[in-house]
Chains A and B, each alone.
Chain A
Amino acid sequence: MMNKAKSVAARYGTGLMQAVAAVMLTCGSGAALAQSAVKMGCVLPLSGGSASVGNQTKAGVTAAVEQINQAGGIKALGGAKLEAIFGDSQSKADIGVAETERLINREKVSVLCGAFNSAVTFPATEVAERNKTPWIVVGSVKDEITERGYKYTFRINNKATYDAREQIDAIDMLGKETGKQAKRVALFYEGGDWGRSHAANIRKLAAERKLDVVLDEPAPPGQVDFTSQLLKIRASKPDALIVALYTPDQLLFSRQLAEQRLDLPFGLHSAGGGTEDPTFYAAVPAKQVAYYFVQEDWQIDFLDNKSEPLLLNIEKRVRGILGHGMSAYAAQGVSVAYVVQDVLERAKTTDREAIRKALAATDITGGPALFPGYQRIKFDENGQNTFSHGAISQNINGKRRTIWPVDNRGADVKPVWPVPTWSKR
């Protein structure tokens, strides 16, 4: 009996000591947490076909994280520094998934973002969902990414439907403004996830708005000649051409289109892609891309109208990293970093579940998170920011100016509609 009582006391004693030790450990790690960094994982295409895009987003994230840390880090976590850890998807789905797993399980990141290519983001978010790690989509527009009932996937930027709707809205609006409506559109797009989903949306909207789709042609990536497709476009006699191509393809296509002097009365309407990449404009003569309409997640003349020091500072830093100024991709990188900051300040912990809850409750109406040109960031039950929208610019007199939405249009900007034929340029 005595022996038993002793052993009970000993057991309780040990239990008590373990409990004390556990509490001390927790406090210790809590104190350590306050000074250590909060890890944010970013899966981006840093090599491969979309490498230039991925590196622009990386520059945006890097610049914003530096700025956040200089301003005192995450105050709710005792000034913890934000640390961005990048994973290279190489623009490939399988590698993107592997990188996501590495960031979750080995780097133990609190929140994830990425991965630009829809084909990578789609399976990678599935991994994040399984591991209960919040993922903020950057750049990918495929609708289904936020339409699978996932709890951990959030998207700040447009989804594909919005992109398509904006393009058709702009074509409608320009028609109404001038009384000259486009009737026939041709579709030419890269044959991957992004291009096909964009084309599907345009087809649906075109049917609703009584626009004739006279050509519907996907293109395999990495082509060395577009002559036969340009011939098909010419033969279909479209009023306007809607394209969705990545940078190298867009570059080759634009050059060949100009060389063949293919006249499109109501112009070429590009859904971002290559035409929102600053390196595209550095590599193509300005004349060949005159009057292009570009729909993108960033208002190209945004900084002309604003002089906020935070943004100018970021612009300068991004220029330092990339050698060229802001782009849609860099702006999205900035935005995601500031959303993470906002979320961490509210979550007050690095726990993934708490971060998910805080993310779902996000409602940002000001500050650098809105850098891409949105008025507000607030997610619906699917995790889609319903306030996101893009802007459409036209390349007028060698400068890209915003023409849609009308509210974002500068006072001196007058869209050119229809566009002059090649012989009159």
Chain B
Amino acid sequence: MDFYVLSYSAINGIVVGAMLGGIALGLSLIFGVLRIVNFAHGSFLMLAMYIAFWMQHLAGIDPYLSVLIAAPLMFGIGFFVQAYIIAPLIKRERALVVEPISALLLTAGVYIVVDNLALMSFGPNVRSVTSAIESTTVMLGEYPLNTFRLVAAFAALAMALLVSLWLARTDMGRAIRATALNRDAAAMSGINVPFVYNVTFGLGCAMVAVMGCLIAPFIPLTPNVGLSFGIKSFIVVVLGGIGSITGSLLGGVVIGLFESVAAQFVATPTAAIFSLGLFIVILLVRPQGLMGRK
């Protein structure tokens, strides 16, 4: 095997992995705080991509600028979904079940509704978003790398850093962390738990919206584009450790790197099988994930 090919695929794997990690960040946050498996995560990514598409199509706004619109908008949508769709379920189940499994089914319902609404409203056609940025490749030494992917990967890192800081330093961040640790104790110390949940869910959606706008320039857009990212995100989050911000990025990089390099030795579908095998092995050895706490 050629060293150049191998190293290039490794670098590319890291870039793609960081991007996957960035997409999984919001899922991890929601998972960690609300203990809810948000099945609709991929659908929210798809919605953000459509926002970027329509912003450009109707108003000529660059997808990178549409982050400023998509993120608050998706925050609102996430806030709404949590407050009016998921919250009643949590309230009803709180006395009996601590981690509502039915919330998983509920979010699966949200996923089906959102995906099909998108199909009905926007049609099945594949679309693409283009950025005003002309240069599509930069040279990293002798390795050509796609600018858009690189931006998405660095944005994932920056976003992880910002969110960690925010969670550590602000009152709201502390409230979120307290709720994640023990929601009853948090409630007793005067934290408005339902509000914290709404904000967390909204924040998770805003984060996936940022990534949605950033990947829109290079991922073709269809109403079911979220599905492949959604499933990858679950793997990344569980692998990295539920609720861990760094774990999410690390999980993404491990999967991306492994699949990219393995694909040089075997066919890609086989590489995907191996990556799931790796996932199972890691979970057998470390059930809490790479960065998760017991």
Q: Which A residues fall within an 8 A CB radius of B?
A: 46-49, 51-52, 54-55, 191, 217-220, 222-225, 227-229, 231-232, 235, 247-248, 251-252, 255-256, 259-260, 277, 279-280, 282-285
Residues on the A chain within 8 Å of B267, using CB: 217-218
Interface residues in B111-133 (C-beta closer than 8 Å to A): 116, 119, 123-128, 130
Number of residue pairs spanning A and B whose beta carbons lie under 8 angstroms apart? 103
Given that A252-B219, A255-B218 are known contacts, is A218 also in contact with B228, CB under 8 Å in the complex? Answer: no
In the complex, what distance in Å separates the CA atom of A284 from the CA atom of B232? 26
- B164 CB within 8 Å of chain A: no
Given that A232-B263, A232-B264, A279-B125 are known contacts, is A252 also in contact with B220, CB under 8 Å in the complex? Answer: yes
Which of A47, A51, A222, A228 is packed against the most chain B CB atoms within 10 Å? Answer: A228
Contact with A along B11-32 (1 / 0, CB 8 A): 0110010001000000000000
Which of B1-9, B72-80, B186-194, B280-288 binds A?
B1-9
Residues on the A chain within 8 Å of B259, using CB: 228
Residues on the B chain within 8 Å of A231, using CB: 5, 8-9, 264
Assess whether B219 is in contact with A227, with CB atoms less than 8 Å apart: no
Assess whether A46 is in contact with B124, with CB atoms less than 8 Å apart: yes
Residues on the A chain within 8 Å of B116, using CB: 47
In the complex, what distance in Å separates the CA atom of A55 from the CA atom of B268? 30
Assess whether B2 is in contact with A251, with CB atoms less than 8 Å apart: no
- B141 CB within 8 Å of chain A: no
Contact with A along B146-173 (1 / 0, CB 8 A): 1001000000000000000000000000
In the complex, what distance in Å separates the CA atom of A64 from the CA atom of B127? 27
Pairs across A and B, CB under 8 Å, 12 listed: A46-B124, A51-B222, A52-B124, A218-B268, A218-B269, A223-B228, A231-B8, A247-B222, A279-B126, A280-B126, A283-B127, A284-B128
Assess whether A259 is in contact with B146, with CB atoms less than 8 Å apart: yes
Residues on the B chain within 8 Å of A47, using CB: 116, 119, 124, 223-224
In the complex, what distance in Å separates the CA atom of A225 from the CA atom of B9? 11
- B83 CB within 8 Å of chain A: no
Given that A218-B267, A228-B12, A231-B5 are known contacts, is A251 also in contact with B124, CB under 8 Å in the complex? Answer: no
Assess whether A54 is in contact with B228, with CB atoms less than 8 Å apart: no
In the complex, what distance in Å separates the CA atom of A46 from the CA atom of B223? 12
In the complex, what distance in Å separates the CA atom of A283 from the CA atom of B137? 20
Given that A224-B219, A252-B219, A283-B126 are known contacts, is A229 also in contact with B263, CB under 8 Å in the complex? Answer: yes
Contact with A along B241-275 (1 / 0, CB 8 A): 00000000000000000011101100111001000
Given that A218-B269, A225-B12, A228-B263 are known contacts, is A248 also in contact with B126, CB under 8 Å in the complex? Answer: yes
In the complex, what distance in Å separates the CA atom of A235 from the CA atom of B137? 20
| Nearest CB in chain B: distance from A380 CB, A | 34
- B144 CB within 8 Å of chain A: yes
Given that A191-B269, A218-B268 are known contacts, is A235 also in contact with B9, CB under 8 Å in the complex? Answer: no
Determine which of B8, B220, B261, B268 lies in contact with A251 in the assembled complex, contact meaning CB atoms within 8 Å.
B220
In the complex, what distance in Å separates the CA atom of A83 from the CA atom of B2? 60
- B227 CB within 8 Å of chain A: yes
Assess whether A248 is in contact with B220, with CB atoms less than 8 Å apart: yes
- B229 CB within 8 Å of chain A: yes
